[in-house]
Amino acid sequence: MILTDHAALATQLQAYILEHIPLARAMELRVARHEGAELELAAPLAPNINDKGCAFGGSMASLMTLAGWGLVELALRARGIECDIYVGDSTVRYREPLFGELRAIARFAAADALEVFLKTLAARGRARIQVVCTIAGETQDAATLEAAFVAKTC
C-alpha cells in the first residue's frame, strides 16, 4: 500500500528533521511542498547569509542534500519501508548569488529511478538512487545538486 497523504508525511518529515538535525533548526528549515515525485524545502535568508549578504554556499548545499534525502525518505515511508538513508557522492554547482529565501526542489534523476530502486532494495536490502535538486535564482538556478543516496534496510 502506498500512503498518499503527502501533506501528513511532509509535516512528519519536518518534525523529524528539526528534532534530529540541529543544523536544520539553525537554518530554520521547513517543508514547503511534497507531491510524491517532488519535495520542496525552504529556509529564510537571514540565518543562512554569508559575508557578502547572499546565501551561504554551505546552507544551499545542506538544504539541497536534505531535500534529496527527504525525497527518498518519504518515498520509503509512504510504502512502510524502514531504512537508513545516507548521502553518497554529490556535485554542487553554484551559478549565481541568491539574495532571498532559499527554496530547494528535489526530484528523482530518471522517470523509472524509484521503481528500479524499490525492486533492488526489496531483493538485496540495499539500493542506490540518483536525485537532482535545484535552488531557483533570479535569472537562472542559483545552485544545483546531483547526488546519490544509499538506502539500507534497518
Mask 86-105, x = binds its own copies (CB under 8 A)? xxxxxxxxx--x--------
Mask 14-43, x = binds its own copies (CB under 8 A)? --xx--xxxx--xx----------------
Within its chain, how far is the Cα of 68 from the centroid?
3
| Among 1-9, 49-57, 109-117, 130-138, the segment contacting its own copies (CB under 8 A) | 49-57
Q: Which of 1, 2, 46, 111 binds its own copies (CB under 8 A)?
A: 46
SS3 55: strand
CB contact set of 144 (below 8 Å; sequence gap of 6+): 64, 92, 93, 95, 132, 133, 134, 135
Which regions of the chain does DSSP assign to beta strands (E)? 30-34, 38-43, 83-94, 102-108, 126-136, 141-153
Given the rule CB under 8 A, which residues bind its own copies? 16-17, 20-23, 26-27, 46-52, 56-59, 61-63, 65-66, 69, 84, 86-94, 97
